[in-house]
Amino acid sequence: MRKLLLYSMIVLAAPVWAVDWKPLPSPAEYRATVDLDSVKPQKKFASFTLRRAYSGPQDHESGKQYYSTRSVYIMDCSDGSAALAVTQYYGEDRKLINANVRPNIKRSEFTAPESGSDVETAIKLSCERLASIKDGGPGAAAKAQPGATAKPSVRRSSSGSGIIVTRNGHILTNQHVVRDCDAYEVIDDASRRLKAALQAVDNAKDLALLIVQEEFPAAASLRRDAAPRLGESVSVVGYPLVAVLGTRPSVGFGHVSSTVGVRGNPSQMQISVPVQRGNSGGPVLDQAGNVIGVVVSKLDALKVAQRMGDLPQNVNFAIKGEIVRAFLEAQNVPFAASADATKLENTDIASRGSAVTVRVRCIRGTDH
């Protein structure tokens, strides 16, 4: 019997990509969404990610409680069937507590979802996105559904995070957050929606600079000695999973776990702060509220679990402050640098970080 080998194209360190969650039909006990940016071809099939956020704690067989799950399905758009490949369980603090991984799935295990269920709708939406990815033209999404009429392309967006580096409108983010965008929008802590233009990118370092024609009341300061210190306490501010967690900034706390990144990358550091999709481009702050890095990626826990038989937690990566500084200097950006080492309370760090962190929207397509 032919089997499907999963995740052949997934690398160990995956960018904390912008995300495009769409709501699904849901019962009272949970809210379901599908991430259309997670749709990936898998030879003759494709995969997508479905999230369920529960209204209360659920008991896991390990004895722990979980509050949300993320499930990866392998689907066949030719008949609308699918098979569950991975389920991740997250605790109240959004930390991964367990994962069930099926490295091989038989085609005979694909089944049709229950009519009207969240999975059925997720398959339909994911097949439409897959058709759009493959064909790339107006009305391409309709081809995945037999008998569907062609529709004009519509505007869609994904989002990440960014850092205000000057009060005059310079925004620092990741290159992968603003890749292949037709337009850019920045939303600040005061909920102002500002049009932005792409000014510079560094593909190798995964950094990008946006500019808006507005002023901000505050701008971030880079630590003058930006080199990370092993074990130092750090904070991350950003806009993760906005369709699920809302459009207000989130903050997380942890420490510098390593002064190098994945596979010893000297341009990055490892942090223990939990990060989610949408955190990309957000600041890593020291205890004085100074920027010492930019969130860029997280270790793919499922890939590691599949290869190593172990489930890593909170292994995330950020671009080092000295790399950020060199990029801004190359663009002649008049950013502020600070040697202030006065330790702040967590609430003050969160407040300062929120004031200089924005949500960055990448808009693709045209309005109809």
Please name each of the domains of the chain with its CATH number: 3-144 (2.40.128.710), 159-364 (2.40.10.120)
Q: Count Cβ atoms within 10 A of the Cβ of residue 22 and give its class: 0-12 exposed, 13-18 middle, 19 or more buried.
A: middle
* pLDDT value for 118: 95
* pLDDT value for 86: 86
Q: Which two tokens stand for residue 248?
A: 């207000």
Q: Is the dihedral of CA 349, 353, 355, 356 positive or negative?
A: positive
DSSP assignment string, 178-241: STT-SEEEEE-TT--EEEEEEEEEETTTTEEEEEESS--S---EEESS----TT-EEEEEE--S
Q: Count Cβ atoms within 10 A of the Cβ of residue 73 and give its class: 0-12 exposed, 13-18 middle, 19 or more buried.
A: buried
* pLDDT value for 38: 79
Residue pLDDT tens, the chain, 368 long: 445 544 433 334 445 544 567 899 999 899 999 988 778 887 788 889 999 999 999 999 989 999 999 898 999 999 999 999 889 888 887 777 888 887 778 888 999 999 999 999 999 999 998 888 765 543 444 444 444 444 445 556 788 999 999 999 999 999 999 988 889 999 998 889 999 999 999 999 999 999 998 899 999 999 999 899 999 999 999 988 666 665 788 899 999 999 998 778 899 999 998 888 788 899 999 999 999 999 987 554 444 444 544 444 567 889 999 999 999 999 999 999 999 999 999 999 999 999 999 999 988 875 54
Distance CA 282, CA 242 (A): 14
End-to-end CA distance of the chain: 47
Would you call 114 helix, strand, or coil by DSSP?
A: coil
CB 119 within 8 A of CB 73: yes
Residue 250, C-beta contacts closer than 8 angstroms, at least 6 positions apart: 237, 238, 239, 240
